[in-house]
Amino acid sequence: EVELKLAVAARDLDDLRAHPLLLAYAEQAPQVQQLHTRYFDTPTRQLAQHGMALRLRRAGRQWWQALKTGDSEAAMSQRGEWEWPLAEGHLSVALLRDTPLARVADVDALRHTLREVFATRFRRETWLLRIGDGTQLALCIDTGQVRAGRHAEPICEVELELRSGDAGALLGFARELSDVITLVPLARSKAARGHALAEHGPAVPPPARLRPAAPAPDALVAHALGTWLQQGSAALAANGALLDQSDVEYVHQARVAVRLLRSLLRLWRDAIEPHAVRHALAALRRDLRALGQVLGAARDADVFVTESLPRLQRAADAGHVAAWPLLAQRADARRTAAHAAAAAYVASPAFGSLLIDLERCAYALKRLAGERLATAAPPRLDALQRALVKAAHGLAGHDAQALHRLRIAAKQLRYGSAPCAALFAPGPSQLHAQVLAALQTQLGRLNDDTVALQWLQALNAPDDLNEWARLRARRRVHKLLPEVAADVVRLQLIEPPWHAPRSTTITLNPTQSLIHQRVACIPAP
């Protein structure tokens, strides 16, 4: 089966049912079923570990047994499915002997170890659609619960299943629906949610970090980029759903995901043919910029309120004591407004449309041929490193704009090289990444100071406090600039990992860091 899972708010269901596209393409009136499904696995979760789900489902008076295989941890998934009608609601292990499960487990032995792990009960409303190009789809609106023991979570989602035709048409139809209704690609299946509920209870998932998958040695640029875009969609959806949490990492990781995706699109867009896909990638990068702006404002507010303002307050003398309570109050109000703006964007159709566009571009990219990543990466990464060194030339004048340009160049090099690291020699890759991370950390601290000065001015801080903060920031530039310059020199002296022989290794000394082994002898300028 090929399907796209989409989260939808309960308040939007009536608008979805009344959408002109559903009414225009429906082949018949929607069918409604009450579905009760029980999911089974061994105590060690043997099936889940192999990406399989075994279930019994009752639809009306009929029971069905099904085994699903393949990756379900993506909004757009293509999975194997074996399904059998049953006379009664009991598992038939014998039916599993001719399925992929028999390759990873003793099917007959499973008879004694399979246990119900969780269950779902939901109402399914199915619309059979034939869209403009003849593609046949089933649009299912599922509302109900997933339950594991005493714990339960709501289900409110849409599944678009391809019955015949091209999956690209399915994605295009989803994108049209999302123009007026917020539909967010949903990476976790009901089975994945059920397993998490059974193992951890109704816990809030941790912030999702976008860690681009390591490409295979022969991976094509288009295919790798498609995978990374799909991962980005999942990370943004996961963090976007939890922006209202007190943990500031959800906003932070969402913003990092946007920046990483924009850097990857900037780096690889020109390597993609045909022009239509390249044009779609350019539009995607522009739309990511809009999301990045609202997330950036919320992140800047978090950093100022939770880090910069307390640090300034601790460092200030007694003459400024009276100003801090009012500044903190004003800062909290601005932070609340920034978070409200970010939450409003994530709740809007624009957010869902952006994530569906990520899925559409990922699908298109994975169908393309083109250059291998291992061949295309070195010249592009060389250009990014040259841009970084060039940006560092302005440091001598302690120019704030030069520091900003260097920070952006360092970020682009790091975001461009890290996803490709598996293609390079591990020792040089690790060394290069650590020096680059150290450089980015120092530049990030200086940028936090710059943003803090902007916030103090916007909050109408007293003139003497503004002046004190400016002098303090200037002293930090003088203090950190030699370290920044030293890291740039280190990067120039290290052989870029994309040029090092794949067999190059570096032996770690347990008493020294990897960086210190290679660069401790380099004097700071």
Q: What is the residue type of 23? A: L
Q: What is the mean pLDDT of residues 265-282?
A: 95
CA-closest candidate to residue 187, choices 216, 211, 157:
157
Distance CA 112, CA 101 (A): 16
Give the global pTM: 0.91
Give the residue from 246, 300, 351, 312 showing the smallest Cα distance to 473: 312
Q: What is the 3-state secondary structure (H, E, C) of 463-474?
A: HHHHHHHHHHHH
Local confidence band at 72 (pLDDT 50, 70, 90 cut-offs): low
- pLDDT for residue 396: 73
pLDDT in tens, 330-371: 999 999 999 999 999 999 999 999 999 999 999 999 999 999
Read off φ and ψ for residue 467, nearest 5 degrees. -65, -40
Alpha carbon distance 439, 485 (integer Å): 9
> What stretch of H or E contains 8?
strand 2-8
DSSP string, 213-263: PPPPTT-BHHHHHHHHHHHHHHHHHHHHTTTTSS-THHHHHHHHHHHHHHH
Decide if pLDDT at 512 tops 50. Answer: no
Determine which helix (DSSP H) or strand (DSSP E) holds 41, and give its type and residue range. Answer: strand 31-41
∠307-308-312 over CA atoms, to 5°?
120
Average pLDDT of 450-470?
Answer: 96
509: pLDDT strictly greater than 90? no
The answer on pLDDT for 502 being more than 90 is no
The confidence score (pLDDT) of residue 71 equals 62
Query: By mean pLDDT, which of 6-20, 60-74, 271-285, 305-319 is the weakest?
Result: 60-74
- Listed in sequence order, the DSSP H helices in 4-59 are 13-17, 20-25, 46-49
DSSP reduced 3-state for 17: helix
Q: Using 50, 70 and 90 to split pLDDT, how confident is the model at 320?
A: confident
For residues 221-237, average pLDDT: 97
Over residues 66-91, mean pLDDT: 86
Give whole-number Cα distances, 509 to 288, 490, 518, 521, in Å: 42, 19, 11, 16
Q: Is the pLDDT of residue 450 over 90?
A: yes
> What is the structure's pLDDT at 468?
96
Q: Tokens 């970010």 identify what position? A: 342
pLDDT band at 518 (very low <50, low <70, confident <90, very high): very low
- Give the pLDDT confidence score for residue 523 in this predicted structure: 39
- In this structure, the strands spanning 115-130 and 80-86 are unpaired
What per-residue confidence (pLDDT) applies to 522?
36
- The phi, psi pair for 143, rounded to 5°, reads -135, 125
Nearest Cα residue to 237 out of 183, 157, 160: 183
d(CA 243, CA 251): 6
Which residue has better confidence, 519 or 27?
27
pLDDT of residue 513: 43
Q: For the chain, what is the mean pLDDT?
A: 92
Name every residue whose Cβ is closer than 8 Å to that of residue 216 and which is 6 or more positions away in sequence.
none
pLDDT above 90 (res 217): yes
For residue 401, pLDDT over 50 is answered with: yes
